[in-house]
Amino acid sequence: MASMTFGCAAFLSTVMLIVDSPVTLAQVPPDQPAVTVRGQTYTPRSILSRNMGTDEDQTTAFPPHKIAGNVYYVGTRTLSSFLVTTPAGHVLINSTYERNVRTIEKSVTQLGFKFSDIKILLGTHAHGDHQEGDALVKELTGAQVMAMAEDIPALEAIKPNGKTHPIDRMLRDGEAIALGGTTLVAHLTAGHTRGCTTWTMTTQEGAKDLNVVFACSYRSPATVTPAIESELNRTFTVIRSLACDVPLGDHPAQYNMAAKYARVKPGAPNPFIDPANCWVEAEIQEAMLRAQLKLQQGAKP
Ligand SMILES: [Zn+2]
């Protein structure tokens, strides 16, 4: 499976070898650590399969839909792509794999918007399953590609078919991007990658202002170095300080998209407005980090 060689997926075999040192190549390493958060147990394998699904899940469009206000879902079953529409053009967050770009374009069109109206392309983090398609999106739309400074080296290494990764503007933590009355703020939430970016904005539904959080992945890489541990500790504090009514994530399972989508009904409360579950993913990944550190320390001679 070609996709398994990319960032998010690649860590798994490595983490298991690290946490379970006396392993031989012939053995299947155990799936650990396991953590239980809000009554549900998670392991590295269960998180990977929840996030990525099958190859088909990664490339099959999920029905495009409105999330809240001017925020829409245009991604696949397991790789999020979000469209933020404005009267001055649109913002796309996450191009996903290059082979998904035409699928995303179709979803944008199905919602009644023009793909060519995308003016700004943003991303959550420099892994192929989230940002491999940036060059093609830029080619098709002319959008300005903006990225957190700390992720730029990793982004520049993502070159599908030898294409140069476009970067038009380098962002710093806390920087705001305005288009057509919508302002998106970039929050550095490092750990999963050096420049992992959580985006926030306010949207309006009826008379209500809603705080939308497009969360980056908070999963620790295979080996937790002291630098990554301190980045993630900062990240878990930062994200809990954000105003949040509508939690979203770069893999839909991180915010239970499918279950929420099934509850969308005219006249019913919007299921995507879910402040009670804003930080569940952070809780899971923080518990995982602590358990991983314990295993790592135990594995030391
Ligand atoms: Zn990733």
Of the CA atoms within 13 Å of residue 232, those in its CB half-sphere come to: 26
| Ligand 1 centroid from CA 15, angstroms | 14
Predicted pLDDT of residue 20: 39
| Ligand 1 centroid from CA 7, angstroms | 5
Task: Please state, as a whole number, how many other Cβ atoms lie within 10 Å of the Cβ of residue 175.
Answer: 17
| Ligand 1 centroid from CA 250, angstroms | 9
Q: Kindly report the CA angle at 188 between 43 and 205, in degrees rounded to 5? A: 90
Dihedrals φ, ψ of 65, to 5°? -155, 160
Q: How confident is the model at residue 28 (pLDDT cuts 50, 70, 90)?
A: low
For residues 94-116, give the mean pLDDT. Answer: 98
Asked if residue 23 has pLDDT above 70, the reply is no
**Which range, of 19-33, 44-58, 160-174, 265-279, averages the lowest pLDDT?**
19-33
| Ligand 1 centroid from CA 268, angstroms | 34
| Ligand 1 centroid from CA 42, angstroms | 17
**What six digits make up the tokens of 161?**
């078919």
Q: CA 203 to CA 183: how far, in whole Å?
A: 9
Element (H, E) at 187: strand 182-188
| Ligand 1 centroid from CA 231, angstroms | 15
Predicted pLDDT of residue 206: 87
| Ligand 1 centroid from CA 266, angstroms | 35
| Ligand 1 centroid from CA 233, angstroms | 18
Asked if residue 139 has pLDDT above 90, the reply is yes
For residues 236-264, give the mean pLDDT. Answer: 98
| Ligand 1 centroid from CA 170, angstroms | 20
Q: Write the pLDDT tens digit of every residue in 140-173.
A: 999 999 999 999 999 999 999 999 999 999 999 9
Q: In 3-state terms, what secondary structure has residue 73? A: strand
Element (H, E) at 56: helix 55-59
Task: Please state, as a whole number, how many other Cβ atoms lie within 10 Å of the Cβ of residue 142.
Answer: 11
Q: Comparing C-alpha atoms, which of 93, 54, 55 is closest to residue 75?
A: 93
Task: Please state, as a whole number, how many other Cβ atoms lie within 10 Å of the Cβ of residue 60.
Answer: 14
Give the β-pairing of 118-122 and 144-148: parallel
Q: How confident is the model at residue 10 (pLDDT cuts 50, 70, 90)?
A: very low
Predicted pLDDT of residue 12: 45
| Ligand 1 centroid from CA 141, angstroms | 25
* Furthest C-alpha separation in the chain: 61
| Ligand 1 centroid from CA 267, angstroms | 36
For residues 187-197, give the mean pLDDT. Answer: 98
